[in-house]
Homo-oligomer: A and B are copies of this chain.
Amino acid sequence: MTDPLSYLPLTEPTFYILLSLAPGKKHGYAILKDVRQLSGGRIRLSTSTLYTAIGRLLDQELIERLDEEAQEPGPGLPRKSYALTDLGRRVLEAETVRLQGMVREARLRLREGGA
């Protein structure tokens, strides 16, 4: 019964990390690349931003760590995969509603105050 609204506002990196996990589980580095692509190259998360955010989101239980059995071998350190929790998805939805409201209010005021 934790209220999703109590987690808002999300910062831009946090929003995109959660959004990156919306379609399904990913490991950290995959989130990094996905966010870059998703934002049209505008957002380049540093690894420090990514992994401190992941730590925080785990603490807050907005994402969860998935136990990996038998990873296929590949480059780099062993992967750790993460997924949105139900709470995380509800927070992301609530944030989207908040952002939509801000856009609506801004459009009204920028119109009335415009040149």
A contact set with B: CB distance below 8 Å:
9, 11-12, 15, 19, 22-24, 38-39, 89, 92-93, 95-96, 99-100, 102-103, 105-107, 109-110, 112-113
Contacts and interface: CB of A to CB of B under 8 A. Distances in A.
Stoichiometry (number of copies): 2
B19 A105 contact: yes
A67 to B, nearest CB: 21
A92 B106 contact: yes
A114 to B, nearest CB: 8
Q: Helix, strand, loop or mixed for chain A's interface?
A: helix
A11 B13 CA distance: 12
6 contacts: A22-B112, A23-B109, A92-B110, A96-B110, A99-B106, A103-B103
